[in-house]
Amino acid sequence: MRVLVYWLIVGIPLLFGVSMTLINAAQLFH
Amino acid sequence: MEGFFARERTVAPPGYNRWLVPPAALSIHLCIGQAYAFSVFNGPLTKVIGISAPAPDDWTLPALGWIFSIAIVFLGLSAAFGGRWVESGGPRRAMFLSACCFGGGFLVAALGVHTHMLWLVYLGYGVIGGIGLGIGYISPVSTLIKWFPDRPGMATGLAIMGFGGGAMIGSPLSVWLMHAFAGPSSVGVAETFVVMGLLYFAMMMFGVLTVRVPAEGWRPAGYVPPAQPKKLVTSANVHVDTAIRTPQFWLLWLVLCLNVTAGIGVLGQASVMSQEMFPGVITPTAAAGFVGLLSLFNMAGRFLWSSTSDFIGRKPTYAIYFALGVVLYSLVPWTGQIGSVALFVAFYAVILSMYGGGFATIPAYLRDMFGTMHVGAIHGRLLTAWSAAGILGPVLVNYIRQYQVDRGVPPSAAYSETMYIMAGLLVLGFICNALVRPVDARHHHREQPEPAPALAE
């Protein structure tokens, strides 16, 4: 449980960054 | 308070789950990786007085460019000179200093923007923040290597992947905050710096509070060091001051420098190059998407390549970076000639994954060569190769390009020469990597840590 919480603390910001980058990258294929 | 930061206070109790440690390292690298996204502030910082448009007294772009350059110089200096301090005091003390410097640097820079004193921004983000970058970058490396003796490449790759991901978080966060704070009398940069300084400090404190080092002689459950170690993996240790006098250190310095120089060289011109090689096909908006895609591959490559190196070995991994790099760099101009955007993007994506992989695999390569005793400090000194490449890469590319354009070569063709020269650098890198041999036993440190019985994880 503790492992999951620790990974979520760093994983959520990283997921936010990756999502924003993917949205940006999608423009390449438009 | 002194005791809280002492290495002894961070020693993990028996049974501690080692998978709790990488998030501590990631929390530091995800924050300091913001440095790569600093350019989003450049535009608004040229309008601090004029707000809607630059006023005569506003800062110029060349003057603002120095903020990032100073930060990178201080990253290299603090990593090189602070490495031994980091090793002796343990990761918690180093991470705390990094959090104070990086978060505090933002606050000093905010004051500089608020009072419109550029030297204060240089001091804040450049000098103080740069020290936070350098100390933060190396602080978790040796700790992770000690926790994951069976997978050192994967462990350090995880942390260094965070540095690549930091820009992806920092860029949209900065834009969003500036948008929220901007008004008729402010571009919102000073307020954004304050919020980011506090946010990053809090996030980095998560790492400070949760980082743990393994007890002396600890081994993962079930892990037995190979009785016959691989030829290029030492079980001895080399002192940091001795390491820099070995040819292996300087060969690896060149390996990193050449890999990064070639990567930075093409990374800096990726957007313009894509548009000029495919005029009318890749628009400026699509080019921005292309750069975003490259940053994803840069980040993913850090984890994937360094994890792969645990299985195939460090030297073969770098041999792939250089050999495959030579082929791909040489073929990029050809993709323009046949008009294949898909191949162009694919080649560039693999190139950038190997650029990131080069950063992430080097700590494990150093561990293989010099042992774990001073690997963080040795890594810190090796990072001067990054600083050198940061100057060499863009200078080389810009100089070659200008020389070609002055000779009347069309801009799209001028890129071909650049790519071939970058491929030449990779050939040099391949040779340096091929020359790497185990460190001579006379350089080994005499006090060897005694092996302890394995403890359950």
DSSP per residue over B356-379, as a string?
HHHHHHHHHHHHHHH-STTHHHHH
User: What is the pLDDT of chain B when averaged over all its residues?
Assistant: 89
How near does any CA of chain B get to the CA of A15, in Å?
9
In whole angstroms, what separates CA B57 from the centre of its chain?
35
The per-residue pLDDT for B452 is 45
How near does any CA of chain B get to the CA of A18, in Å?
6
Of A6, A13, A30, the CB nearest to B210: A6
- What residues 286-325 of chain B have any CB closer than 8 A to a CB of chain A? 286-290, 292-293, 295-296, 299
Cβ pair B289:A25 closer than 8 A: yes
Of A7, A13, A28, the CB nearest to B169: A13
What is the per-residue pLDDT across B33-90, written as a single tens digit (0 to 9) for each?
Answer: 999 888 889 889 999 999 888 899 999 988 888 898 889 889 989 999 998 898 888 8
Burial (CB count <10 Å: 0-12, 13-18, 19+), residue B104: middle
As a residue count, chain B comes to 457
Q: Which residues contact B303 (CB under 8 A, 6 or more apart)?
A: B154, B157, B158, B161, B360
Is the CB of residue B281 less than 8 Å from the CB of residue B269?
no
Choice between B38 and B102, residue whose per-residue pLDDT is larger = B102
Cβ pair A14:B165 closer than 8 A: yes
Does the pLDDT at position B134 exceed 70?
A: yes
Does the pLDDT at position B455 exceed 70?
A: no
ipTM of the complex: 0.95
Cβ pair A20:B290 closer than 8 A: no
How near does any CA of chain B get to the CA of A11, in Å?
8
Cβ pair B23:A2 closer than 8 A: no
How near does any CA of chain A get to the CA of B31, in Å?
10
The reported pTM is 0.88
Is the CB of residue B140 less than 8 Å from the CB of residue B159?
yes
Compute the average pLDDT of residues B244-252. Answer: 95
What is the per-residue pLDDT across B142-180, written as a single tens digit (0 to 9) for each?
Answer: 899 999 999 999 999 998 999 988 988 998 899 999 999
Question: Which residues are B186's β-sheet partners?
Answer: B183
Dihedral sign computed on CA atoms, order B325, B319, B352, B98: negative
Q: Does B271 touch chain A (CB under 8 A)?
A: no
Compute the average pLDDT of residues B280-303. Answer: 86
Does the pLDDT at position B456 exceed 50?
A: no
Of A2, A10, A21, the CB nearest to B296: A21
Percent of chain A scoring above 90 in pLDDT: 60
Compute the average pLDDT of residues B351-375. Answer: 93
Choice between B367 and B447, residue whose per-residue pLDDT is larger = B367
